[in-house]
Amino acid sequence: METSTTASSSIVGKLLEEISWEKAKDYRAGGQGRENVLTAEVLIGLDFLPRTEFLAAVVGAAHGADAGRSKLAAEVEELQMHFLPGDFSPGMTGGKPKLVVQPDAIFETSSTYTLVEAKRIRYGSFQPEQLAREYITLMARAEGAVPLLLLLGVEPPIRVKGNGQLGIAEAVGRFLGPVLERLGDPALPSELELMERIPEVFCWISWPDLDECVREAAVRYVAGRYSTHASVQRVASFIRNAIAWHA
């Protein structure tokens, strides 16, 4: 995996690294409405909460890619979460990447490989080639693992800059051919195969659905010790408060 080298691999450390490349004044309101801040806060909570009860529930509540999501949910306790992992590319030419994408997160388990793309709550939109580029990169890097592309905070039809609202297959298909042609890599799956596999790879969950899922999981959760139970409830509230604040 190609990731940037930093002093910290924690979610907070990676978020601060990202902020260092942006205008600091954009974060004067505590990052309210900023996609990376919201994603960091939600993933911190899901990383530390009991995963079988919370993260697996969120994966289970998502839509699309049913078989892949089932595998991911079954393996959440071993999941390695990489937040803002840096630049990813499906191929190189002359030592330089032909195409670079920057996922919001990567989830890895023994049999699954998930690229996470998150959008802000208000008016989040995709760049025209974004999903096609991320899809190709995912399929090139998943190797033998089950590939998943999880759209966090998204519900189709999705906004694509300059193209209005599109279904996921159309948002990918409009740009898939030209991106594959530019790459010119015969080792990549064909356009036809990639289009056919969209339903088994792409999955999504909206922020309201994720919020409701966390709420329900917190209500169901029972711990033997009061302190443990109270800690779980605090972290669950942290996620829900983050979603409400960024809305």
- Residue 10: which of 84, 109, 95 has the closest Cα? 84
Instruction: Judge whether 172 lies within some domain.
Output: yes
Instruction: Judge whether 50 lies within some domain.
Output: yes
Indicate if the pLDDT at residue 188 is higher than 80: yes
Q: What is the DSSP letter of 104?
A: S
Confidence of residue 98 (pLDDT cuts 50, 70, 90): confident
Instruction: Judge whether 140 lies within some domain.
Output: yes
Q: What is the mean pLDDT of residues 103-123?
A: 95
Instruction: Judge whether 107 lies within some domain.
Output: yes
- The number of CA neighbours under 13 Å toward the Cβ of 223 is 14
Q: How many residues does the chain have?
A: 247
Please state, in angstroms and rounded to a whole number, the distance separating the CA atoms of residues 12 and 8: 8
For 128-144, write each residue's pLDDT tens digit.
999 999 999 999 999 99
Structure token pair of residue 25: 């004044």
Indicate if the pLDDT at residue 6 is higher than 50: no
Strand pairing report for 158-160 and 164-166: antiparallel
Point out the least confidently predicted range of 3-12, 99-108, 228-237. 3-12
8 A C-beta contact, residue 149 and residue 114: yes
For 208-221, write each residue's pLDDT tens digit.
999 999 999 999 99
Calculate what percentage of the chain has a pLDDT beyond 70: 94
Indicate if the pLDDT at residue 96 is higher than 70: no
- Residue 140: which of 86, 102, 194, 94 has the closest Cα? 194
Instruction: Judge whether 6 lies within some domain.
Output: no
- The number of CA neighbours under 13 Å toward the Cβ of 42 is 30
pTM: predicted TM-score of the whole model, two decimal places: 0.91
Spatial CB neighbours of 226, under 8 Å, sequence gap ≥ 6: none
Calculate what percentage of the chain has a pLDDT beyond 90: 80
Total count of domains within the chain: 1
Q: What is the pLDDT of residue 91?
A: 64
Q: In which domain, by residue range, is 76 found?
A: 11-246
3-state class percentages of the chain: helix first, strand second, coil last, to nearest 5: 50, 15, 35
Q: What is the mean pLDDT of residues 41-60?
A: 97
Q: What is the pLDDT of residue 2?
A: 40
Instruction: Judge whether 233 lies within some domain.
Output: yes
For 61-95, write each residue's pLDDT tens digit.
999 999 999 999 999 999 999 999 999 998 655 55
For 146-184, write each residue's pLDDT tens digit.
999 999 999 999 999 999 999 999 999 999 999 999 999
Which residues are bridge partners to 85 per DSSP? none
CA 105 from chain centre, in angstroms, equals 5
At residue 133's C-alpha, the angle toward residues 211 and 63, to 5°, is: 30
Instruction: Judge whether 2 lies within some domain.
Output: no
Q: What is the pLDDT of residue 92?
A: 53
Secondary structure of residue 198 in the 3-state scheme: helix
Query: How much is the mean pLDDT over the chain?
Result: 92
CA distance to 23, 24, 41, 119, per residue, from 122 (Å): 20, 20, 17, 9
Indicate if the pLDDT at residue 22 is higher than 90: no
Instruction: Judge whether 167 lies within some domain.
Output: yes
